[in-house]
Structure 1
Amino acid sequence: MRFVFSPPAEDAAGLLTLPWSEPLDEWQDERLVEIRQRGISRHVVRFVADGGTLYALKSISERLARREYRLLRELAELGIPAVEVVGVGVNLGPGAEAILVTKFLAFATTYRAVFSSPRGSGPPTDKLLDALVELLVRLHLSGFFWGDCSLSNTLFRYDAGTLEAYFVDAETSEKHPELSNGQRSYDVELAVERVYAELLDLEAGELLPAGIDPLEVAEDLQRRYDRLWDELTMEEIIPVNEQRFRIAERLRRLNELGFAAEEVELVSTPAGNRLRVTTRVADQGDQARKLFLRTGIEARENQARRLLNDIASFRAYLEQKERRPVSEIVAASRWLTEVYDPVVEAIPEDLRGRLAPAEVFHEILEHRWYMSERAGRDVGTTAAARSYFERVLPKAPEALDQDLTE
């Protein structure tokens, strides 16, 4: 038996004592756990809790396991949202398949759970398609052909009311220096077909909201993809006297979409200067890093942006109340101890783990806004949190890694 680790290897050393010489579906070990809410897989997949970390183990051919291991590591280096690969077990015995090991994605949910318990306003299809399309575009910009893009092969995390999609299955994926238009079109075509089939399945199970047409939604995936791809890669003619303004505007739009310019080129043409922007996936986490440095809170990017805004609002409130300037550091520290921590500590024990603490706080801010609007006054965070815990949080789907039985 040989087990290849991704660094740092010591984090998963405890996995070496698992019964690797036996077929995965026959394993018996006290660290094995069952997850009732899980995605659909073509392979044997089991889950192991070791050292406080939950791992997903998938039985697959050695060729595909090694390939998926390599591709997932490349995605991590490129900063594309994907499950974190830990290692791969090979040479497990005569005729035995290899086993790919990934870390289970904390606070993740499936598309089925999103439909069974939608969050926020608007149909869940909009958030799911936006998240899936953005992930697909990120992959294509990086030269990745997915080959099996679907809602089933994706996990989702809530991020301040939006959804962020995570790449899960790289069995059919290919890495190229860049993709041709034909490769991209084929990948999107496959995605449309698979999403259509998945929505038909939801419709048959009466999980699809009334009035949603599976074919119309699936075909909308193509339109959303085309709009985002065109926005990121289009060339445009700009007059000389508008160069600085138009370039700055284009780069700002890219940043707002979560992308960045790798190269900006102006090419002279008879009609004017043609602007070419080579787009890459932006370094993620600026707001999250800023929040962590100020408060120690780990959050997704949109969550961090929302919490930082609340800190700024709290700082203004302190300055007005105390009639003196308050530094950002002091305001963040007091906000943490006086506002955020009390809310998180008040989450009922049986509801902890439904959503990430930062997402809970974001939803409480939303809930407070609606309550205050109805009341015609500011109801306060404490009252909003109490109402949210009673009426809203119990309806949230259980996160995949929270509903575990040995």
Structure 2
Amino acid sequence: MALEITAARPDPALLDLPWRIPLEEWPEDLLAALPRGISRHVVRFVRLSGRVLAVKEIKADIAQREYEMLRILNRMDMPCVEPFAVVSGRVAEDGTELDACLITVHLQFSLPYRALYSQSLRKGTATRLIDALAVLLVRLHLAGFWWGDVSLSNTLFRRDAGAFAAYLVDAETGELRPRLSDGQREHDLEIARVNIAGELMDLEAGGLLQEDRDPVEVSARIVSRYRELWDALTGSQLIADEERWRVDDRIRSLNALGFDVDELAITTDIDGTSIQIQPKVVDSGHHSRRLLRLTGLDVRENQARRLLNDLDAYTAGTGRQGEDETIVAHDWLTNVYEPVTRRVPRELVTKLEPAEVFHEVLEHRWYMAERAQHDIPIEDAIDDYVRSILPGKPDEQAVLGIDTQQLPVIAKSKGRG
């Protein structure tokens, strides 16, 4: 049998690896010492051409199928490992046929759940891992992917500002469909609940589980967390034309659940306005970079997210989702952001920086609309904010923007006192 390599961009260095030797017998000098999770198959990490690759020994047809599935999921921007190649047609020195190998790119800074528990982690780690897995499962299900073997073992985790981000690492049982039925989603959930309970029991038996609760009770969180997220992300909402403030309310709810809004589609029918929101989990600093690219505004991350939420709502509310976003952003900057920030009287401009003023005006308008139960024009909100709220604010520019040349003078006056 001839050795066959399937890869989008084949690396000639693959031919230098000892494919005629069973994977579990590969020499140590080829291997990268990285923590491995529990797997039904032999898995090894190797360094090749400046990268670290995970090699899994598996039947040829399953390896090819998983390789293609991972390629599709990567094109869909799903959180999963990147497929690199499939090597089949392996034959040992004695003529024995060997299983094929699926090769994936090692996900940097990621760890299997058991490796995380080998470290000193604070209590609540299990619930945070389950929360991350619930987010991953919701994203996969929204894309039409049925996993079929949901577990902590088949997931890699990256630290994410005190929480964790989860990535699919094993897709051999998965199926991709145009849309999953409720029964298929519930089946995945039940598989997840049972598998996670067993994995946590295993940790408990080894004295590694920090949770004070029963592992079965902790594992049930995957069901409640998943349903909470699914309902928030897929539930339809009808609003009247004068209740556009509810769009902001929906975005706030999603942000509180840990999702950022990537697309906001608003369609009007005879019964009112239907809101459909497509979530996307984004990386740190995404919002400030996106806002700077679109508008030239250089603000902090939370401010940027708030401004972008308003920009997205403006885009959808004006029916311009299909237009070039830089053009729409310029119009939003000219017609919404700048008129609001310029409305601040000269004697009050030192109170807050413009981006924070705009954020607070949006907050103020939302509270006004919630009390009134109808939309409030942003012109009315800024006028009321300037009249009733802003004058009571301290002069932050005066506090934060002290001229350093004045410091010696301040020091001398204190000394004389």
TM-score (norm 1): 0.66
1:41 maps to 39
| 3-state SS, counterpart of residue 165 of structure 1 | strand
Q: Map of 1:159-308 to 2, 5 A cutoff? A: 159-209=160-210, 211-242=212-243, 244-251=244-251, 253-254=253-254, 257-261=259-263, 263-269=265-271, 273=272, 275-277=274-276, 279=278, 281-282=279-280, 284-285=282-283, 287-288=285-286
Give distance in 2, aligned partners of 1:138 and 1:214. 25
| 3-state SS, counterpart of residue 193 of structure 2 | helix
1:135 shift after superposition? 0.3
Give distance in 2, aligned partners of 1:321 and 1:41. 61
Q: Tell me: higher relative CO, structure 1 or 2? Use CA pairs within 8 A at least 6 residues apart.
A: 1
Give distance in 1, aligned partners of 2:235 and 2:127. 24
1:289 shift after superposition? 8.7
Q: Is the aligned partner of 1:146 residue 2:147?
A: yes
Contact 1:265 1:276 in 2 (8 A): yes
Q: Which amino acid aligns with 2:191?
A: L
Q: Which amino acid aligns with 1:21?
A: R
Return closer, same or farther for 1:323/1:105 CA change in 2, 3 Å cut-off.
farther
| 3-state SS, counterpart of residue 55 of structure 2 | strand
Q: Which amino acid aligns with 1:193?
A: V
1:5 shift after superposition? 1.7
Match of 1:84 among 82, 85, 92: 82
Return closer, same or farther for 1:317/1:81 CA change in 2, 3 Å cut-off.
farther
How many percent of aligned residue pairs carry the same amino acid? 40
| 3-state SS, counterpart of residue 85 of structure 1 | strand
Contact 1:79 1:283 in 2 (8 A): no
Q: Which amino acid aligns with 2:30?
A: R
For 1:46-104, what per-residue CA distance to the aligned partner results, in whole angstroms no more than 9, with x for missing partners? 11112332111000111111111111111111111111111111222363211011111
Give distance in 1, aligned partners of 2:235 and 2:290. 36
| 3-state SS, counterpart of residue 178 of structure 1 | coil
Contact 2:126 2:211 in 1 (8 A): no
Contact 2:247 2:275 in 1 (8 A): no
Give distance in 2, aligned partners of 1:119 and 1:66. 38
Give distance in 2, aligned partners of 1:317 and 1:68. 59
Match of 1:102 among 96, 101, 104: 104
1:123 shift after superposition? 1.0
Give distance in 2, aligned partners of 1:182 and 1:158. 32
| 3-state SS, counterpart of residue 30 of structure 1 | helix
1:33 shift after superposition? 3.3
Which of 94-103 and 22-31 deviates more? 22-31
Give distance in 1, aligned partners of 2:136 and 2:70. 14
| 3-state SS, counterpart of residue 163 of structure 1 | strand
For 1:200-252, what per-residue CA distance to the aligned partner results, in whole angstroms no more than 9, with x for missing partners? 1111111112522111111121000000000000112323320x211233245
Give the alignment's Cα RMSD to 1 decimal. Answer: 3.2
2:321 maps to none
1:59 maps to 57
How many residues are matched?
300
Match of 2:115 among 97, 113, 116: 113
Give distance in 2, aligned partners of 1:53 and 1:321. 49
Return closer, same or farther for 1:321/1:144 CA change in 2, 3 Å cut-off.
farther
1:145 shift after superposition? 0.5
Q: Which amino acid aligns with 1:5?
A: A
Return closer, same or farther for 1:81/1:118 CA change in 2, 3 Å cut-off.
farther
Q: Which amino acid aligns with 2:247?
A: I
Contact 2:266 2:273 in 1 (8 A): no
1:156 maps to 157
Return closer, same or farther for 1:107/1:2 CA change in 2, 3 Å cut-off.
same
Q: Map of 1:295-374 to 2, 5 A cutoff? A: 319-320=401-402, 322=404
| 3-state SS, counterpart of residue 111 of structure 2 | coil
1:26 maps to 25
| 3-state SS, counterpart of residue 39 of structure 1 | coil
Q: Which amino acid aligns with 1:100?
A: L
Give distance in 2, aligned partners of 1:292 and 1:21. 49
Return closer, same or farther for 1:288/1:321 CA change in 2, 3 Å cut-off.
farther
Q: Which amino acid aligns with 1:129?
A: I
Q: Which amino acid aligns with 2:15?
A: L
1:346 maps to none
